[in-house]
Amino acid sequence: MVKFKNPTNEQAAPTLYQGGIPFLDALENDLKKASHSIAIQVMSFEADQAGQQIVELLSSYPKLQRRLLIDAYSTIVVNDTWTQRPGNSPRLRAAREEARQLWPLFQQAMNNGIEIRFTQPLGPLFLKYPFRNHKKCVLIDQAISYVGGINITDHNFGWNDVMIRDQHSLIAQALQQSVDTDWQTGFLPNKLKKFTPATTSNPTTSSDQTTTSDLSTTSAPSTRETPPAYQRLDEHTELYLLNGVSTKAAYRQLQQTVEQAKRVEVFSPYITYPMLDSVAKVAEHTVWMPEHNNKALVKLTSRLPRYRKLNVQTIPGSPEDMLHAKVMVLDEETVVYGSSNFDLVSYLFEQELVIVRRNAGLAQKILDALRP
């Protein structure tokens, strides 16, 4: 257990932003007052309007250190479409074209002094594809944080999702350690290396080669200690930095937090074993899932015989405004939120961040925003 001590810890009430546009507006407002840096970490970043807006916004603040940390997933999956599969449908052609536009957009960003790195190389024949870095986080001046489920894509901006803004120094401090570690272990595709401005700090040593020239990489060995999987930041706040089966003990501790509640409401499109079993142990529980789920298999999982008595409710809406939040509210006073989907994929493979925050005001904001 790691406990940060900071007697001058600055705190402000957390703010909830529902949807991509309110999140982007809040981000722009914070950048106007920023003095030092901004780091954005997401799994998906696409060369659509959302991606272009972020690049334009960051380019407007050349005096700040600006970093984009993006998972390699973004280079092969566009708008929920695997661009490497065979076929020539209109949807697939559009996804491939948008994937090609990602490189010029990143070149523009780097020419404007924005630093870029990718996390988790896909490996030869995409064998490392399951091992994604699924975190979504924004840090401004190492003091303000945004955490939630929103990626930088048009379709994600339209989904029913949230980002939670905090001006809590201990949260920002711990998240900065996580982002710095992922940055140090990140890589830059060789296709972008020639656009690296001399003033930025980018990887220089050769490493993992993937199946296409677009994804061949150079990376730097990490010199930074990996943050612990569980950190108690203060008496009301815990941070989990999960990494698949290697953090199984920490994930079990998170499950126990849920199981000890008397009442739990879950808002998530993707929740399966083992977290679903923990929710089922709570006497009074409700699992809110979207009416239209882009991963139908998850919805079918909740209907297995072992979950027959589970109280699953649907939130109406079209596929374009699907519930995508990853939030639990325990006893109407504790909020569990972050990037984790609470499903088997996150449990086994993905790098995630989850915050457990005892804050009745935030809990009520979540319930008011997400309950249908």
Signed CA dihedral, 296, 298, 304, 307: sign only: negative
Give 56-66 pLDDT, tens digit per residue.
999 999 999 99
Q: Is residue 331 assigned to a domain?
A: yes
Closest CA to 305 of 258, 273, 346, 261: 273
The DSSP bridge pattern shows strands 81-82 and 37-42 to be unpaired
Q: Are residues 98 and 187 in the same domain?
A: yes
Do 209 and 81 belong together in one domain? yes
Residues 235 and 305 in one domain: yes
| pLDDT value for 195 | 64
237 and 207 share a domain?
no
Domain count, the chain: 2
pLDDT tens-digit profile of 117-129?
999 999 999 999 9
pLDDT for residue 10: 53
Burial of 8 (0-12, 13-18, 19+ CB in 10 A): exposed
Write out the two tokens for 246: 């290697």
Q: Which domain holds residue 353?
A: 230-370
Confidence label for 11 from pLDDT (cuts 50, 70 and 90): low
CA distances from 214 to 98, 121, 204 (A): 14, 12, 17
Q: Please indicate, yes or no, whether residues 186 and 264 belong to a single structural domain of this protein.
A: no
Task: Identify whether residues 107 and 61 lie together within a single domain.
Answer: yes
CA distances in angstroms from 202 to 102, 107, 115, 196, listed in the order given: 19, 14, 8, 8
> Tell me: the pLDDT tens digits for 15-47?
999 999 999 999 999 999 999 999 999 999 999
Q: What was the pLDDT predicted at 196?
A: 57
The CATH number of residue 197's host domain is 3.30.870.10
Q: What is the pTM of this model?
A: 0.90
User: Residues 319, 211: one domain?
Assistant: no
Instruction: Give yes or no for residue 352 having a pLDDT over 80.
Output: yes
Mean pLDDT, rounded, for 248-271:
97
pLDDT value of residue 203: 40
Residues in the chain: 372
Q: Which of 185, 219, 253 is a domain's end point? A: 219
Query: For the segment 205-242, what is each residue's pLDDT rounded down to a tens digit?
Result: 333 333 333 444 444 444 567 899 999 999 999 999 99
Q: Look at 8-12, 21-25, 281-285 and tell me which has the smallest mean pLDDT.
A: 8-12
Q: Are residues 80 and 197 in the same domain?
A: yes
330 part of a folded domain: yes
Asked if residue 200 has pLDDT above 70, the reply is no
**End-to-end alpha-carbon separation of the chain, Å?**
38
What is the arithmetic mean of pLDDT over 172-178?
A: 97
- Check residue 332 and give its pLDDT: 97
